[in-house]
Amino acid sequence: MSFRWAEDDFLPPGVVRVDREGPRDGKIYVMYHGTTSTNAQWILSSGFRQSSDGMLGRGVYLSRDLQKASRYPIDHPEYDRVVIKVKVKVGRVIAINHQRHPYRTTWHDYGYDTAWVPPNCGMVKSGLEENCVWDPERIKIIRTIEPIPVQGYGGGAWGYK
């Protein structure tokens, strides 16, 4: 069985889309976090918390790409994945565009609130962008998105569960 991940195209008031140039300091953006259904319930009740490690060091890892977020966690059954749609006040943003960037894991020590990995810069295998937000308080949950089972070819519709 295959699945589709659907999302409406409406943004909450005061939220802007990010272009390929990346998030701009001080703005609010919609982003997505992929996780398991069990972890999603925990996040919904207790809020986000920083990952202890990762490509960009400590922080909450998010993407502006729903399809990228829907792939996480990697190697977990798709039917048990959930994507959490959030609003993020990005604060001060730094672009980390290569593996040897001097602030790759220490960006917060230099006064940045969000680290952004641009698409196709060689840092992420998929070539998709990624964001790491230091302070979970900058993230507000909008809702969850679950996969929709699709039977056969060309069947089904995009929607929500």
Q: How many helices (H) and strands (E) does the chain have?
A: 2, 9
Sheet of strand 93-95, all strands in order from the earlier edge strand to the far edge? 60-62, 130-133, 114-117, 93-95
Q: Cα–Cα distance between 121 and 129 in angstroms, integer?
A: 9
Averaged pLDDT, 36-55 = 95
Sign (positive or negative) of CA dihedral 99, 122, 115, 52: negative
- Helix (H) / strand (E) element for 148: namely strand 148-150
Q: Which residue has the tokens 């398991």?
A: 36
Summarised one tens digit per residue, pLDDT across range 132-153 is 999 999 999 999 999 888 776 5
Q: Cα–Cα distance between 87 and 138 in angstroms, integer?
A: 8
What pLDDT does 159 receive? 45
Q: Cα–Cα distance between 112 and 106 in angstroms, integer?
A: 9
pLDDT confidence bin for 39, thresholds 50/70/90: very high
Q: Cα–Cα distance between 16 and 27 in angstroms, integer?
A: 8
Residue 10 has pLDDT above 90, yes or no: no
Domains of the chain: 2-7+15-148 (3.90.228.10)
79's tokens: 């039917």
Sign (positive or negative) of CA dihedral 46, 11, 90, 76: positive
Decide: residue 28, CB within 10 A, 0-12 exposed, 13-18 middle, 19+ buried: middle
Summarised one tens digit per residue, pLDDT across range 75-123 is 999 989 999 999 999 999 999 999 999 999 999 999 999 999 999 898 8
Look over the chain and give the mean of its residue pLDDT values, rounded to a whole number: 86
Q: What DSSP character marks residue 80?
A: G
What pLDDT does 155 receive? 44
